[in-house]
Amino acid sequence: MIWLLGCLCLSATIYYCYAIYAAIAFSRQPHTINHEFHPPVTILKPLCGLDSDANNNLVSFCLQDYPNFQIIFCVRDRQDPIIEVVEKVIQQFPNVDISLVVSDRVIGANLKVSNLANALAQAKHEILLIADSDIHVNADYLQTVVQPLQDESVGVVTCLYRSLAEGWGAILEAISTATDFHAGVLVSNQLAPIKFAFGSTIVIRKSVLEEIGSFAAIADYLADDFQLGHLPAKAGYKVILSNYIVEHVLGNSTIANSLHRQIRWAHNIKISRTWGYLGLIFTYGTVSSLLFVIITKGSILGWSYLAIVWTMRLVMGWLVGAIVLDDVVTKKYFWLIPLWDLLHFVIWCFALVGGTIEWRGQQLRLTKDGKLIPLEQDAEFVSSQWSVVRMFGR
């Protein structure tokens, strides 16, 4: 056990060091902007309910310093309170090409994807940009994120994000994103071209979307953003991680709600990248070094391991979260990193088993390939199978 924990401490320290290197490499990427390159863009914004600071989030997309863009807000429920906010935004920006699509047509278990599919018919331009409703951007956003598309082999562009949070649950979630999740993304990006995308920003050519089967191809997947990067990568297109950092407005969230989201995302990662998820055991240095101290009964060696591992973990967290992402939550609540690491290890263990999640009021089961099955539908299927068994058993 001592040798195993020692190896885990070593592997975590190596990972932290490489993440530091990857973060420095990412921050040194050139930020050149070709102002002559500004292809027309259609922004698709799937909406459901009122997010924190919803009006300012939507307005930020209307204030783009960009010559030709269209915005399509898409909503499923005609009684959704977000419609009133969208209508005010449309009135506020009469010179911006904005439309609202309200449709409850469903093409799969992922209702967000159905929402996007309902809006796609009104998209006027070849370049599509999909961004979640809780994202806030600056005026240079569009001009920056389209730049990689000058290379025709690029099919998708995506972005990292920093979180604005209120409440301890949201703060822990923001710490997780900035100092843990994005560190892993930067490591992946440094090792090889990434093959996934994030809902914070997905720029995709319409021709590429059609080539992978459009939104129907991902309509039953929980990780729709992952698939919008993964499927184009499988088709031979490059997925580029932009140097633009968007803001993710988490708002106020209880610890219970945040843990619920983290567990859902953990299930999501386990299904989407199983080996990568299992490999996370080699990155939990905070946990392994603490166990090493306990197993060695507080020996000098044990405390030495813990001091080295925790120092490298904190350096990595500060560099990625505070320096690269310029995340205000990381800067203020930096001391919460070890607490988050311990909590995340518990979530990681919990998500190893089971595949049932709750999402936007729906009870869903995750299949082995990452598809969503509503539990009601699943129960009907099981019931029908038992009916067949009973019929042949008579």
**Burial class of residue 40 (count of CB atoms within 10 Å of its CB; 0-12, 13-18, 19+):** middle
Say how far apart CA 4 and CA 72 lie, in whole Å.
53
User: Which residues are marked as active site?
Assistant: 225
* Residue 155 backbone dihedrals phi, psi, to 5 degrees: -105, -25
d(CA 165, CA 170): 5
CA distance 266 to 272: 10
Length of the chain measured in residues: 394
User: And the tokens for 100?
Assistant: 């609202």
Distance CA(25)–CA(23), nearest Å, equals 5
Closest CA relative to residue 242, chosen from 187, 191, 186, 179: 186
Confidence of residue 375 (pLDDT cuts 50, 70, 90): low
User: Which residues, in sequence order, are bridge partners of residue 161?
Assistant: 246
Cβ atoms 356, 364 nearer than 8 A: yes
Whole-number pLDDT of residue 23: 97
**What pLDDT is attached to residue 258?**
76
H or E, element range at 306: helix 300-317
Q: For 37-256, which CATH class?
A: alpha beta
In a 13 Å sphere around the CA of 179, the CA atoms on its Cβ side amount to 32
Long-range pairs, 295-302, Cβ under 8 A, ≥24 = 295/1, 295/2, 295/5, 296/2
On the question of pLDDT at 384 being above 60, the answer is no
Q: What is the pLDDT of residues 179-189, one digit of tens each?
A: 999 999 999 99
Q: Which helix (H) or strand (E) holds 112?
A: helix 111-120
Burial (CB count within 10 angstroms: exposed 0-12, middle 13-18, buried 19+), residue 66? middle
**CA-CA distances (angstroms) from residue 121 to 42, 118, 229, 266?**
11, 7, 21, 33
End-to-end CA distance of the chain: 55
Q: What is the pTM of this model?
A: 0.88
Q: How far apart are CA 193 and CA 204, in angstroms?
A: 16
Could you read off the pLDDT of 30-85 as tens digits, one per residue?
Answer: 888 999 999 999 999 999 988 888 999 999 999 999 999 999 999 999 999 999 99
Which pLDDT score is estimated for 392?
35
For residue 380, the model assigns a pLDDT of 44
Q: pLDDT tens digits, residue range 133-163? A: 999 999 999 999 999 999 999 999 999 999 9
State the pLDDT at residue 360: 57
- How would you label 292-313 residue by residue, b for 16+ Cβ within 10 Å and e otherwise? bbeebeeeeebeebbebbbebb
Question: Given pLDDT bands bounded at 50, 70 and 90, which one contains residue 335?
Answer: very high
Convert the pLDDT of each residue in 108-133 to its tens digit: 988 999 999 999 999 999 999 999 99
Specify the pairing of strand 135-136 against strand 372-374.
Answer: unpaired
Q: Where are the domains of the chain?
A: 2-24+272-356, 37-256, 365-393
Q: Which residues contact 359 (CB under 8 A, 6 or more apart)?
A: 222, 264, 372
Q: How far is CA 128 from CA 39, 205, 208, 262, in A?
A: 10, 6, 10, 28
What is the SS3 assignment for 70? strand
Of 163, 160, 183, 166, the C-alpha closest to 344 is: 183
